[in-house]
Amino acid sequence: MITINTLDLTNMRGLKMLDADIDTKMKFLHGFSHKTRVQILECIKENEKTVSQIVDDLKGNQSNISQHLACLKGCGLIVGRQEGKYVYYRVRNQLVRNLLTMFDEVLEDVQNNVASCENHID
């Protein structure tokens, strides 16, 4: 007869749930993991802009910017609204703005460590 400790099952379920939460968190953080996406977020942090305005501000190309906008939108970090033939993009809400500000504040505290980190994996 096989007996299973209820505590072990609870811990196993907890680990599976934790893995799912971490996978979702990693997908969310992916939105911040590319220079162009961070530039876009900073560009539209305070004011909504069209793709062409973002392209002009970042001096990028339209196709590349559009791909990164799709990623940011898919991650739920930005939203777009159609007005005539233009789509205006903006940061989703104040929470995302706060997170961008918090990144700046934390980075200010750890920037020397980040700059000299030899363990960074690309």
What angle, rounded to 10 degrees, do the helices at 35-43 and 94-116 form? 140
**Residue 15, CA distances (Å) to 12, 84, 98 in order:** 5, 48, 30
Does 9 have pLDDT greater than 80? Answer: no
Domain residue spans in the chain?
A: 31-115
Task: Give φ, ψ of 90 to 5 degrees.
Answer: -150, 160
Which pTM was predicted? 0.79
Question: Each residue of 45-90: pLDDT tens digit?
Answer: 999 999 999 999 999 999 999 999 999 999 999 999 999 999 999 9
Residues 7/35, Cβ–Cβ less than 8 Å: no
Q: Identify the CATH assignment for 31-115 out of 1.10.260.40, 2.40.30.10, 1.10.10.10, 3.40.50.2300.
A: 1.10.10.10
Mean pLDDT in residue range 10-29: 74
The two tokens of residue 67 are 């791909």
